[in-house]
Amino acid sequence: MLEEIIAAHSILVTVFLVFLIGGLFIPSMTAKDPFAFRKASFIYTMVFQAIATMVVFTGMVAMVMGEHGFTLSIILMIVVWAVLMYIEIRKYRLIKLSSVQMPEIHQMLKNAFLQISMVQIMLVAVIVIFMLLKARGIVAL
């Protein structure tokens, strides 16, 4: 049962990473309509939070079922999750409260969206690589 939950966690992390990479296309798909960009950003944020929460939930279930304590690697994953959620909420709030109809602000928001998305992808990728190295015994934490 524990292996199935860890497999589900791994699949969800992969889905999350693919979703983050797919999110890079939102600014280009909504390039001409600033209000479509705002709406797409809202939908993206809601799906982001849903998938991220599923990842954390399966990870916590695996931690409890595997009778693991709060190791440094688990604490690191929780911290990265919290940082990802904070960044995403701030990003959406910036887009929601800005005057997207002004072309220069719309362009600035699209650039910020891409930069923030790249940081989020990097954070998830670093954790995935770290955990793969840990599973192979290369890193011991």
What pLDDT, in 10s, does the model give residues 43-64? 999 999 999 999 999 999 999 9
Residue 141 forms part of a structural domain = no
Domain extent for 106: 2-135
Residue 127 forms part of a structural domain = yes
Nearest-CA neighbor of 91 among 112, 119, 63, 60?
112
- Mean pLDDT value across residues 58-82: 90
Residue 6 forms part of a structural domain = yes
Look at residue 118 in the predicted model and tell me its pLDDT. Answer: 97
pTM value is: 0.89
Look-up of token digits 């362009």 = 107
Residue 128 forms part of a structural domain = yes
Residue type, 34: P
- Mean pLDDT value across residues 12-37: 93
Residue 60 forms part of a structural domain = yes
Average model confidence (pLDDT) across the chain: 92
Burial (CB count <10 Å: 0-12, 13-18, 19+), residue 117: buried
Residue type, 115: Q
Look at residue 22 in the predicted model and tell me its pLDDT. Answer: 96
Decide if 113 contacts 95 (C-beta within 8 A): yes
Look at residue 61 in the predicted model and tell me its pLDDT. Answer: 93
Number of domains the chain contains = 1
Residue 48 forms part of a structural domain = yes
Residue 140 forms part of a structural domain = no
Proportion of the chain above pLDDT 90, given as a percent: 77
